[in-house]
Structure formats: C-alpha cells, structure tokens
Amino acid sequence: MPGHIPTSSSHAGTVYLVGGGPGDPDLLTLRAARLIGEADVIVYDNLVGKEILGMVRKDAEMHYVGKQAARHSLPQEDINRLLVTLAQQGKSVVRLKGGDPFIFGRGGEEIEELVAHGIPFQVVPGVTAAAGMGAYTGIPLTHRDYAQTLIFATGHLKDGSANLDWQALARPGQTLVIYMGVGGLEEIAGKLITHGLPADTPAAVVHNATLPTQQTVTGTLSTLPALVQESGIKPPALVVIGKVVSLQSRLNWFVPNGPEN
C-alpha cells in the first residue's frame, strides 16, 4: 500500500517528508495521517499543531526542531544530519512540516543531504499555508476578473535579506502571497509601491490561518503596515496583496474564536 511504513526488517531507514498542512488537522491528507501514526520517529516543526502530534504512535521517538523568527532550536545543517543519523539507525522517520515540504519548507535542502548519504526517502505533499489561508479567509488567490497570476514569495531569504525581484512582484493582474513577511512588511510595501504597484492595492495579513485563533487584518498596501502594528499580530502570518483581497468581506465564511490569550 503506498504510504504504508513497512516493518524495520523489510524496509529500514526510510525518511518521509510529510506536509502537515496549514494547521487545521482536518486538512491533513489520509497518507500523511497514516504515516504519522506508524513512524518510529517524528522530527517536527514549530508550526505542527498539538492535535496532529496527538496522532503519533505512543512509543514513537520525538525530536522538536522548530524555527521561530530569529530563534532556531537546531540549525538547518544539524537537522539534515539528524535525519541521516536516525535513518542509519534503521528507523522509519517522519519529517513533519507545516504546510508543504517543498513550498518554503526547506524540504529540498533536506533531501539533498539524504541523497548524498544514500538514504531512501519519500515526499508527501500537504496543503500549503497560502492555499489554506485563502480558503479560510474568503480570499480566492486567483479570479478571472482580478488575478490571472499567482506568486508565492518569501520575505526572508537565507542571508536574512529581502532582496526580491520587486519589478516582477509589482506587476498588475496578479496575487502576491508572501511567507515570512510580517517582520519586513513596511519595507516590502514600500518597495512594491516604489516599483509601480498602486498604494491603494488591497492587502491583508493573516495570522494562524485555518486555526480557531485565526486573525485577519485588511487594508491597502500603504495602510497595512500600521494596521498590523496596531493589531499586535506576530508571526506565523502570511501577507496577501492584490485585488482579490477586496472580496474577503463578502466571501469569508470561517468564524474563528478570536486571538490567542
């Protein structure tokens, strides 16, 4: 059966990069849920919710390797080596990530290390945070009348900068979703306006998308940084920019419980 973890005697040492989705455990794929419940070891991130971790086998070995803004429990290179070491011990390993492993999840970096050491692996896609955010806020990321192009970008590059192709990101007729962009929102908004995106372009920041604590702040490219600062929203959050954001007030269906206490 695809996705079933064989016993250690028949197929030891496989690493499964599993997408845990945007937060709501109901958005896990069936394959992800099955693998989480069968693995010998779970190596998990900060954005994996408690309900999803509750699916783990009771005797499974747990390794937390979460990353928060400017604070990592383990450097990425150490995480890569940990996966190799665990697999070399003959264990079935689930590397559990929020969202999708290949969309700003560093999955590519991790499997490069696995390949270099001859470790067998499989990748299980998950609902990426942007897709979950759009669905749970009533912001359709594409729309024939407003956005014929969808771009995912990261607001935090490996070297700590946000040196992006601003001219391409500021083109009309598209939706821009920025991961890890809240900390640099003022700079991002300023760069986009400087490169031609109108200051009154609808924009939003969404915190804890798909969870009961989801918060959404909407405004325009010029007003959003101040609105977010007033709201107190902190990462994890997504920035979404484009005319589709104007549909949020009419299409939103999800009623969260409110901000975290």
CA nearest neighbour of 105 among 187, 183, 48: 48
The per-residue pLDDT for range 161-198, each reduced to its tens digit, is: 667 999 999 999 999 999 999 999 999 999 999 999 99
Which residues, other chains included, contact 231 with Cβ-Cβ below 8 Å and sequence gap of 6+? 215, 217
Residue for token pair 């959003």: 224
Q: What pLDDT does residue 259 have?
A: 53
Domain 129-251 fold: 3.30.950
The per-residue pLDDT for range 36-84, each reduced to its tens digit, is: 999 999 999 998 989 999 999 999 999 999 876 555 568 999 999 999 9
Classify residue 122 as exposed, middle or buried by CB count within 10 Å of its CB (0-12, 13-18, 19+). middle
The whole-model pTM stands at 0.89
DSSP assignments along 200-220, one per residue:
T-EEEEEESTTSTT-EEEEEE
pLDDT of 208 above 80: yes
Which of 3.30.2130.10, 3.40.309.10, 3.60.15.10, 3.40.1010.10 would CATH assign to domain 15-124?
3.40.1010.10
pLDDT of 113 above 70: yes
* CATH 3.30.950.10 location in the chain: 129-251
* CATH 3.40.1010.10 location in the chain: 15-124
Task: Tell me the two tokens of residue 36.
Answer: 């989480």
Task: Write the DSSP symbol of residue 155.
Answer: S
CA nearest neighbour of 120 among 42, 9, 17, 14: 14
**Active-site residue list:** 45, 67
**In whole angstroms, what is the distance from residue 200 CA to residue 218 CA?**
12
Mean pLDDT of all residues in 90-107 = 96
